[in-house]
Structure 1
Amino acid sequence: MNCMQVGRVLQSYLDGETDEVTARRVAAHLEDCRRCGLEASVYRELHDALARRAEPDGGAVERLRAFGASLMSDPPAGDDDAEHGTTPPAGA
């Protein structure tokens, strides 16, 4: 899996909602990709922090929504495949 594919299923994976094959592929990618591993770590920390609160305050919820929207609208610069050495050869 590449970074974009993992990004599409990361939340479902972290929530335990992916099938076994997808879960294995995501886990393997997270072990190899520092950026995606960091993103997964941030999601886990956010989840744990929200779970500790009885009721999240409205401001925190709005900031979290805005952060999530920014992740969806601002793709990272660069080529994910090139970062992992999987760019097809020229002319392929």
Structure 2
Amino acid sequence: MNCLQVARVLQSYLDGETDDVTARRVSAHLEDCRRCGLEASVYQEIHNALARRTEPDSGAVERLQAFGASLLSDPPAGDDDAERGTTPPSGA
């Protein structure tokens, strides 16, 4: 397998959702490819950290909800220039 092929199935592999042949091929690639091996390690650390949490941090949930709401709201005043690809004259 090459890096692109591994990237496509890495999360499924780490979750134990790949067939045996694919799992062996991904495992062999991860042993030989430092970059993909490091990426898999990071994913595994994130997975383990999330698994240790019993309930989400309420402050983090509130911040995510506020961020999501801000994405749905109208852009702040002045952002319409950026959307049109224009910039205000200098000194304005």
Q: Per the shorter chain, which TM-score range?
A: 0.5 to 0.7
| Partner residue, 1:47 | 47
Question: In the alignment, is residue 20 of structure 1 matched against residue 47 of structure 2?
Answer: no
Counterpart mapping for 1:1-92 below 5 A? 1-57=1-57, 59=60
Supply the RMSD in Å over aligned alpha carbons.
1.6
Residue segments in structure 2 that go unaligned for 5+ positions in a row: 65-92
Q: Percent identity?
A: 80
AA partner of residue 56 (structure 2) = P
1:25-69 Cα offsets, whole Å, 9 max, x none, are 000000000000000000110011011111233638x5xxxxxxx
TM-score computed with the length of structure 2 as normaliser: 0.61
Question: Which protein, 1 or 2, shows the higher relative CO under an 8 Å CA cutoff with sep ≥ 6?
Answer: 1
Residue segments in structure 1 that go unaligned for 5+ positions in a row: 63-92
After TM superposition, the runs of 4+ consecutive aligned structure 1 residues lying more than 2 A away are 56-60
- Paired residues in the alignment total 61
Higher CA-based Rg: 2
